A and B are shown apart, each in its own frame.
Chain A
Amino acid sequence: MSDIAKDTGGARVKRGLAEMLKGGVIMDVTSVDQAKIAEEAGAVAVMALERVPADIRAEGGVVRMADPERVAGIIDAVSIPVMAKCRIGHFVEAQVLQSMGVDYIDESEVLTPADEANHVNKWDFTVPFVCGATNLGEALRRLGEGAAMIRSKGVAGTGNVVEAVRHMRSILSSIRRLASMEPEELMAAAKELRAPYDLVREIAETGRFPVVLFTAGGIATPADAALMMQLGADGVFVGSGIFKSGDPVARARAIVEATTYFNDADIIAKVSHGLGEAMVGINVDDIPDSERLAKRGW
């Protein structure tokens, strides 16, 4: 029996883990204590990083992959999957995270990009990747490079959901548009989207995005999470929104529950009581162009 052939690292296995995370909340954590709070609240996974986006905005400087020792500590501390961020194009950070046994890598615009033209060739890896996107073309370019899951970029570290809404609506309305096109229109559509033709054709035929599509960037309240789910997200990343709020334990749990029962306003109302202060928001218009993280990634 031991000679059974096991295929690791295939597309179905990589995309499959994301399927298992659907309907769940993935929380940014910077320490073992935060990871345990997230797991106890019901997070489906944690994202290990050096600083949450709100602190990155406040402190500036070059932001890199988290210290491997910290990532290892978090892997040891929780039973749920552990994700970690690498810089755009920094394939060695990705190699390191894979060798440490991280379950998913987020090639993230929240960190300082390492390559201004190219993303990591994600096909080279056994570990799956999630990438951010602001529109369908960008999402499909990332899939073309081997990403197995996509999230909206939103505007990380602000507690402002407006850009996440914009990105999710943009991606989903482009899918609906492709689904209504004649076959002969698809090459022009691929050109306009700057996206691989085969993926454009696949979406036109199925009417569906081919991998799991989460939302991220600015989700701060249970109602924000439910809004994104009702708009069509498969699940929610919450970054600064939890551990920059007044009562992370209560808020983390409430966001999980609102994500599960996103269609039930009675439950969302109930879980939203008594959460203390939400993180202080930043108006997107007040952010200078050079600090717009969503513009990173190509």
Chain B
Amino acid sequence: MKVGVLGLQGDVREHLGALETAGASPMIVKRPEEMQSIDALVLPGGESTTIGKLLDRFGLLGPLTERVARGMPVYGTCAGMILLAARIEGRDEAPHRIAALDVTVVRNGYGRQVDSFEADVDVKGFDSPFRAVFIRAPLVEDAGPGVEVLSEVDGRPVLVREGRILASSFHPEMTGDARIHEMFLSMLDGG
């Protein structure tokens, strides 16, 4: 099973490290042909505007959208969640998206950088809290009936799953705790 990390921009290295800790041998994906050779993909944290534009300009958005539609497991953190979200609300747009996850997201919904925060969150199925890092994080405004909410902060979803799509508004790749990456890898086996 080949797991890729989209390597256009952002905290690619941290996701590679977390996936290795979780037992995978990940590769960086930057080209359309690489997009075809993988079995699962992580969309890292970064600037969603930048990553979306680069996906579009280098012919990656079409193949990626198609692969996600056909059921390739995908995990998006922060910017990655924005790229996956079906709907964007608020003043900041994100025109180039995969738009496959039935949620409405407000970009920078938790505020600017001075409001960025860490918190211990409870995650469904984990026996101890998860240290979650939120950096100019997207806020999930609502989630469709097919979306399972795995973690919440202040009554808002922060970790969600729909079919083989996993998304978090926080950055599990930054804390050295690989449990969420393990959860993602278990989705590859049909889990």
Query: Measuring CB to CB, which residues of chain A are less than 8 angstroms from any residue of chain B?
Result: 1-2, 4-10, 12-13, 16-17, 19-24, 39, 42-45, 79-81, 98, 101, 103-104, 126-128, 256-257, 260-261
Residues of A near B97 (CB, < 8 A) are: none
Closest-by-CB residue of B relative to A99 is B114
Contact of B11 with A104 in the complex, beta carbons under 8 Å: no
B155 adjacent to chain A (CB < 8 Å): yes
- A selection of 12 A-B contacts at a CB cut-off of 8 Å is A1-B153, A7-B117, A12-B118, A17-B136, A20-B135, A21-B47, A22-B12, A81-B136, A126-B114, A256-B50, A256-B54, A261-B58
Residues of A near B133 (CB, < 8 A) are: 12-13, 16
Contact of B154 with A1 in the complex, beta carbons under 8 Å: yes
Residues of B near A126 (CB, < 8 A) are: 114
Residues of A near B30 (CB, < 8 A) are: 260-261
Contact of B154 with A79 in the complex, beta carbons under 8 Å: no
Closest-by-CB residue of B relative to A1 is B155
Contact of A22 with B92 in the complex, beta carbons under 8 Å: no
6 closest A-B pairs (Cβ-Cβ)?
Answer: A79-B92, A103-B113, A6-B117, A23-B9, A44-B47, A19-B11
Contact of A42 with B50 in the complex, beta carbons under 8 Å: yes
The listed residue (B10, B78, B115, B119) touching A22 by CB distance below 8 A is B10
Interface string of B112-156 (1 = CB under 8 A from A): 111111111100000000000111100000000000000011110
Closest-by-CB residue of A relative to B114 is A126
Besides A8-B115, A8-B117, A22-B12, 20 more A-B contacts (Cβ < 8 Å) are A4-B120, A7-B119, A13-B118, A13-B134, A16-B171, A20-B47, A22-B13, A23-B7, A23-B46, A44-B46, A44-B50, A45-B47, A79-B108, A101-B112, A103-B112, A256-B50, A256-B54, A257-B54, A260-B30, A260-B54
Residues of A near B121 (CB, < 8 A) are: 4
Q: How far is the CB of B88 from chain A (nearest CB, A)?
A: 10
The listed residue (B49, B114, B174) touching A16 by CB distance below 8 A is B174
Q: What is the size, in residues, of chain B's interface with A at 8 Å between Cβ atoms?
A: 46
B2 adjacent to chain A (CB < 8 Å): no
Interface string of B48-62 (1 = CB under 8 A from A): 011001100110000
B76 adjacent to chain A (CB < 8 Å): no
The listed residue (A10, A12, A98, A260) touching B9 by CB distance below 8 A is A260
Closest-by-CB residue of B relative to A75 is B112
Contact of B135 with A24 in the complex, beta carbons under 8 Å: no
Known: A17-B136, A23-B12, A80-B50. A5 touches B120 (CB 8 A): yes
